[in-house]
Structure 1
Amino acid sequence: MVTDQARRRLLKAALFGAATPMLPFGCGSISKPTLRTPALIGCALSGRERFNVVVADQQGQPISELPLPSRGHGVAINAPVGHAVVFARRPGDYLMVFDYQRGELIQLRQADARRHYYGHGVYSSDGQWLYVTEGDRSTSRGIIGVYEVATGYQKRDEFTGFGLGPHEVISMPNGTLAIGVGGVHTHGREPMNLDRMRPSLSYVSSQGHLLDQITLADKKLSIRHLAHDGNKTVLCGQQYRGQTEGNPALLSMHTQGEGMIDLQAEPEQWARFNHYIASIAATEEWILATSPRGNCYGIWSKRDLKLVELAPLPDASGVVVFDNVFRVSSGAGSVISQSNPHDKTVLRSSIQWDNHWNAIV
């Protein structure tokens, strides 16, 4: 149920729906409209209980921002129509559609009765549909909500039958949906079934048919975040829900019809990630994964799947790729530009980045 307090937050955000112009560094007056091209979008913090979604250029420098009613998480982008959607952090009670070119609010939608959002969604490759990870509030039954763009994001269908607690959904190049299913029933954010977890990587057709489902050997590894390598391989980032002293592999890869393969690192290196992988991205040669809880990110070789760099970064958050170069965000305002291990440039932005980035392509 959406509380009165949540409704007030939603109304406040809707009323304050105009883009906030950014100030140039070192300047005390409002700048003229920027000519920089929007390239990435991510959520941010801007003070106590103040949350924004920020449109930025390729260097992570802000162009415009919109206020959010509560903390945001993931973003989906529909470049052909210039729309983006930001999803509330789980258990979320809103999604917000906006025009990222103009910085204008289009729609602020509350979760349906007895539903909550899990923080992620993705558009279909043709941009006509938005697929959103949702759950039944009382049971955590996993749902993919299907929304039609042309009708103002009316909900047209719900896909289910793949498990409890889906978190991220991505669209593969062939249109298949890959879903990171955590397998955890939660009350709010409190886990209720850690002794009976059933996490999986599930593949669902665009019509809602379950095509394939694979699990990890360690059932305490809750699959959370996903990416694909531009072809047929899904990269899976896990949250470990087992014993505190355990340090299993937190990053795996899978191609339909084959087995799950763990990426390699020493136990003490996995320990640095503090049991949690957040954002993942891949270039032709490298895979990069962040851990805000571990204040670090790692780079693996795609050729031999071995960890080749483990770098400190306070509140390491989102990662995207532009022209085969990684951009990594930080809650401390740092932006890392890195094309290969040990060759990086550190930039600064005025934004306290939070959770994930998504590239406009």
Structure 2
Amino acid sequence: MQQMVTDNTRRNLLKAALVGIAVPVLPLGCANKVMSTRKPALIGCALQGRDKYSVVIADEQGLPLKQLPLPSRGHGVATHKTLNHAVAFARRPGQYFIVFDYITGETITLKTTKPNRHYYGHGVYSNDGMWLYATEGERTTSRGIIGVYDVLGGYKKVAEFTGFGIGPHEVIVMPDDKLAIGVGGVHTDGRKPMNLSSMQPSLSYLDATGELVEQVSLPDHHLSIRHLAHDGSDTVLCGQQYRGEPDAYPSLLAMHTQGGEMRSLQAQLEQWARFNHYIASIAATKEWILATSPRGNCYGIWSKQTGLLEELNALPDASGVIAYAGYFKISSGAGGVITQYSPHKKNKIQSGIQWDNHWSRIF
């Protein structure tokens, strides 16, 4: 029976993905003549109403150019530095990732999980573009896996890295080619946590062969390390989901440089309470760190030098953020797009898109 359900699911996912091949992906918003001057710059998953989901390609202002239907709700997106490839990952416990051409909108390939596996919603390309790394898990144990896929070989899985913990969420590639993994430490049944009293989150580093070379943690084991970014150099920013006492509000952001200790970023207790125990997306420039909280309907800006919160802004369903040319672009589930140049200096437009979770930049 399990095999039949899995086969049916795969067939349904494939059928849904093929819609992206069979049906032209139409430009949105402006006339074709105007559209021709706008280039793809941002990609993120979006909601389109009840049980309808898509991945949206937008210009540098955050205004949509094309969208591709998704079989189910998406989460993170990986973008290739030289090919016109992007990968949308299903929200955990996800059953698929879909590779598409962000210029034409055509589907390149759809990968689905084996019966006892799922995707955690994130992945990243290697610096040389040869490999795609995806966070994966074993359903019955939440054993953490990094799936390694051969890009030029049609995204065939060629290796699996494991042995770093359970419940990995986001993986990023550092400039020195190491993988940094936000290991949540939570065993789940679907989305239900099963081991909150014994969870063991970590920030883990693997080398290119999958060997665990460094692993650090925070003092409070109820801080599930989930979302990551790096500053373009050697510093990792990690955002946490707090799974402890409801009326406790610890720091939800930390910085780490390989070989050093975790450094928690600072804010007042009532300011951390605004984030409702959850950090979604993070980005950093040379001076500033920005983190969003869709659950808290807000985002904050920290000084990278002092580690202190400089500004806290309300934003309904604050979702994705990317850093570009020294400033930030922030998305909202209510359709807003914020350009944040520095603390207290920003502008806002409406995109008409119900952005969901994360944004990625096209290189």
Q: TM-score range by the shorter chain?
A: over 0.9
- RMSD between aligned alpha carbons? 1.4
Q: Deviations 1:133-192 (Å, cap 9, x if unpaired)?
A: 000011000000000011100000000000000000000001000000000000000000
Deviations 1:2-23 (A, max 9, x none): 3735642441232343453134
Q: Which runs of 5+ in 1 are unaligned?
A: none
Q: Which amino acid aligns with 2:183?
A: V
Give the AA of the match of 2:18: A
**What is the alpha-carbon distance in structure 1 between the residues aligned to residue 186 and residue 359 of structure 2?**
25
Distance in 2, matches of 1:343 and 1:167, equals 32
Structure 1 counterpart of 2:48, from 46, 49, 54: 46
Aligned-pair distance for 1:113? 3.1
What SS class does the counterpart of residue 256 from structure 2 fall into? strand
Select the residue among 283, 286, 295 that pairs with 1:281.
283
Structure 1 residue 114, shift from structure 2 partner:
1.4
Percent identity at matched positions? 62
Is the Cα contact below 8 Å between 2:331 and 2:355 reproduced in 1?
yes
Aligned to 1:243: 245
Is 1:156 the counterpart of 2:155 in the alignment? no
> Which secondary structure state, in structure 2, belongs to the residue aligned with residue 194 of structure 1?
coil
- Does 2:39 correspond to 1:34? no
The aligned residue for residue 85 of structure 1 is 87
Q: SS in structure 1 opposite 2:50?
A: coil
| 1:31 CA displacement | 7.7
**Length, aligned pairs only:** 358
Counterpart mapping for 1:137-216 below 5 A: 137-216=139-218
How far apart, in 1, do the equivalents of 2:18 and 2:183 lie? 32
Identify the match of residue 301 of structure 1 among 300, 303, 310: 303
Determine helix, strand or coil for the equivalent of 1:195: coil
Return the alpha-carbon distance in structure 1 between the equivalents of residues 43 and 24 of structure 2.
14
Unaligned runs of 5+ in 2: none
Deviation, 1:350, is: 1.2
CA contact (8 A) 2:92 2:191 kept: yes
Aligned to 2:29: 24
Does the 8 A contact of 1:236 with 1:251 survive in 2? Answer: yes
1:12 corresponds to which residue? 16
Distance 1:122 1:299 in 2: 25
Could you tell me whether the CA contact under 8 Å between 1:317 and 1:330 is conserved in 2? yes
Match of 1:271 in 2: 273
Aligned partner letter, 1:260: M
Deviations 1:18-58 (A, max 9, x none): 45313436x8xx88863311101000011110000001011
Contact 2:29/2:64 (<8 A) preserved: no
Matched residue SS, 2:283? strand
1:13 maps to a residue whose letter is A
Alignment of 1:69-80 (within 5 A): 69-80=71-82
The two structures have a TM-score, normalised by structure 1, of 0.96
Give the Cα separation in 1 of the matches to 2:305 and 2:20: 49
Shift of residue 277, structure 1, vs aligned partner: 0.2
Deviation at 1:357, TM superposition (A): 0.2
Q: Residue 19 of structure 1 contacts residue 66 of structure 1 at CA under 8 Å; is this kept in 2?
A: no
Distance (whole Å) between structure 1 residues aligned to residue 309 and residue 294 of structure 2: 18
1:179-218 CA-to-partner distances (Å, cap 9, x unmatched) read 0000000000000000110000000011100000001100
Q: CA deviation at 1:241?
A: 0.2
Structure 1 match to 2:349: 347
* 2:138 maps to which of 133, 136, 139: 136
